[in-house]
């Protein structure tokens, strides 16, 4: 029923996940990115903040202290430039580390991929109807609930933080400038770290939720699974075309030799040797063609098409393959074995129904599939 309806009930395959990641469809958590950015920013303020604070103090002192020279040569543009150069480098560095932490936290989910087309404008985002659907649809209500929960949690943390500092905050501006700035700076850093606890609590809940939603989008139907399997293995037409090309390459100049062959002996699958016997050309059977692997398979298929008998004699096939070259007479020690096979083939061609002979291969001419001597290998 589900298969007919096209319901997505199957878990996504590794290929499905990889293809989705290439398109930028990866696990994302805005809450985790926000928490990481705030944590990195607060850490930077704690360690590099004194640098920025010192520059701020120097700028304020230079701006608030006036003497006769300042009044005689009043240059507000120069003063603003000095203030800008004092404050801008630390602020730019802070922005850089916050932006970098946000990118790293998201690229980690996307297997390090950067998909440029995700930055391109999308018409659906500009369509008011699509926007209303997102706002009032199921996802919109979920995001609204998350937003209310975040405001409640972070508001509670901020209130607890503020409860013990109200008097000190209201007294700012009555004491030493440097001391007041240092207190304000430390208070802001403390608040940011406190908010990080709440943000990471939200992220711990949000990441599994986003993972479930992401995997739900990637689920596959039975048809998707079959299509992927077919694509991986290739359609029957593609496989047939591939076999035809492989056969053409493997055969090469073997075709004419196969047409002259009287019989083919095989391993049965790894080796194939096409042979013939013509007393006018040689005193013993000749190896017309031999092959292993893909070539052997192509030789067997061509032999079937041409009506050439294919006989399975593993030990004999390996022995001939490793001891005789193409267009060469077989070894004298193999005369008796090949003669028995040849007599059987000639009987078949005369229309008789002989029993396939049992042959014996000399021990010294027995080999394994790699051409190593195999004295204990049965004939």
Say if residue 114 is in the same domain as residue 213. Answer: yes
355 within domain boundaries: yes
Strands 263-266 and 286-292: unpaired
Say if residue 185 is in the same domain as residue 259. Answer: no
Please give the pLDDT value at position 345: 93
| Extended strands (E) in the chain | 263-266, 271-276, 286-292, 310-312, 328-329
Please give the pLDDT value at position 3: 47
371 within domain boundaries: no
Q: What is the DSSP secondary structure assignment for residue 220, as one 8-state letter? A: B
First to last CA, the chain: 56
Cβ–Cβ < 8 Å for 374, 367: yes
Say if residue 200 is in the same domain as residue 319. Answer: no
- Summarised one tens digit per residue, pLDDT across range 122-144 is 555 566 666 566 666 667 777 77
374 within domain boundaries: no
Strands 263-266 and 310-312: parallel
Say if residue 189 is in the same domain as residue 271. Answer: no
313 within domain boundaries: yes
Say if residue 100 is in the same domain as residue 246. Answer: no
Please give the pLDDT value at position 334: 93
Q: How far apart are CA 367 and CA 379, in angstroms?
A: 10
Identify the domain boundary among 199, 229, 259.
229
How many domains does the chain divide into? 2
2 within domain boundaries: no
Identify the domain boundary among 203, 229, 255.
229
CATH assignment of the domain containing 292: 3.40.1690.10
Say if residue 94 is in the same domain as residue 184. Answer: yes
The residues, any chain, with a CB within 8 Å of residue 205's CB and separated by 6 or more, are: none
Say if residue 37 is in the same domain as residue 102. Answer: yes
49 within domain boundaries: yes
Q: How far apart are CA 101 and CA 107, in angstroms?
A: 10
Say if residue 174 is in the same domain as residue 300. Answer: no
Domain of 65, in residue numbers: 9-229
Say if residue 212 is in the same domain as residue 330. Answer: no
Q: What are the residue ranges in the chain where pLDDT is below 50?
A: 1-4, 379
352 within domain boundaries: yes
Looking from the CA of 235 toward its CB, the CA atoms found within 13 Å total: 3
1 within domain boundaries: no
Say if residue 38 is in the same domain as residue 163. Answer: yes
- Summarised one tens digit per residue, pLDDT across range 267-319 is 877 899 999 998 888 889 999 999 888 888 888 888 888 899 999 999 999 99
Say if residue 145 is in the same domain as residue 70. Answer: yes
Identify the domain boundary among 172, 197, 229.
229
Say if residue 149 is in the same domain as residue 199. Answer: yes
């Amino acid at each position: 029923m589900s298969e007919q309806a096209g319901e997505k009930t199957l878990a996504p395959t590794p290929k499905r996940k990889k293809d989705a990641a290439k398109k930028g469809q990866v696990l994302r958590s805005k809450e985790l990115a926000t928490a990481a950015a705030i944590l990195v920013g607060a850490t930077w303020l704690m360690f590099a903040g004194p640098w920025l604070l010192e520059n701020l103090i120097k700028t304020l002192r230079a701006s608030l202290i006036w003497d006769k020279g300042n009044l005689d040569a009043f240059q507000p543009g120069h003063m603003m430039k000095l203030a800008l150069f004092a404050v801008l480098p630390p602020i730019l560095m802070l922005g850089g580390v916050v932006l970098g932490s946000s990118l790293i936290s998201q690229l980690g989910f996307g297997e390090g991929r950067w998909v440029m087309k995700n930055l391109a404008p999308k018409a659906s985002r500009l369509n008011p109807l699509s926007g209303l659907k997102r706002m009032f649809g199921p996802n919109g209500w979920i995001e609204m609930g998350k937003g209310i929960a975040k405001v409640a949690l972070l508001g509670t943390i901020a209130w607890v933080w503020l409860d013990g500092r109200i008097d000190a905050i209201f007294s700012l501006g009555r004491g030493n400038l440097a001391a007041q700035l240092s207190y304000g700076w430390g208070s802001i850093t403390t608040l940011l770290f406190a908010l990080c606890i709440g943000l990471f609590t939200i992220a711990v809940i949000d990441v599994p939720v986003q993972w479930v939603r992401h995997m739900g989008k990637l689920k596959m139907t039975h048809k998707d699974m079959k299509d992927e399997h077919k694509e991986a293995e290739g359609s029957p037409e593609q496989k047939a075309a591939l076999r035809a090309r492989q056969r053409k390459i493997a055969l090469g100049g073997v075709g004419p030799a196969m047409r002259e062959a009287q019989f083919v002996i095989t391993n049965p699958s790894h080796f194939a040797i096409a042979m013939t016997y013509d007393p006018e050309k040689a005193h013993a059977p000749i190896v017309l063609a031999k092959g292993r692997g893909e070539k052997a398979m192509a030789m067997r298929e061509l032999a079937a098409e041409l009506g050439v008998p294919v006989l399975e004699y593993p030990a004999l096939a390996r022995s001939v393959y490793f001891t005789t070259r193409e267009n060469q007479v077989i070894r004298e020690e193999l005369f008796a074995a090949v003669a028995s096979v040849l007599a059987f083939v000639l009987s078949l061609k005369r229309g008789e129904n002989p029993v396939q002979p049992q042959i014996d291969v000399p021990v010294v001419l027995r080999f394994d599939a790699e051409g190593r001597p195999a004295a204990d290998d049965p004939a």
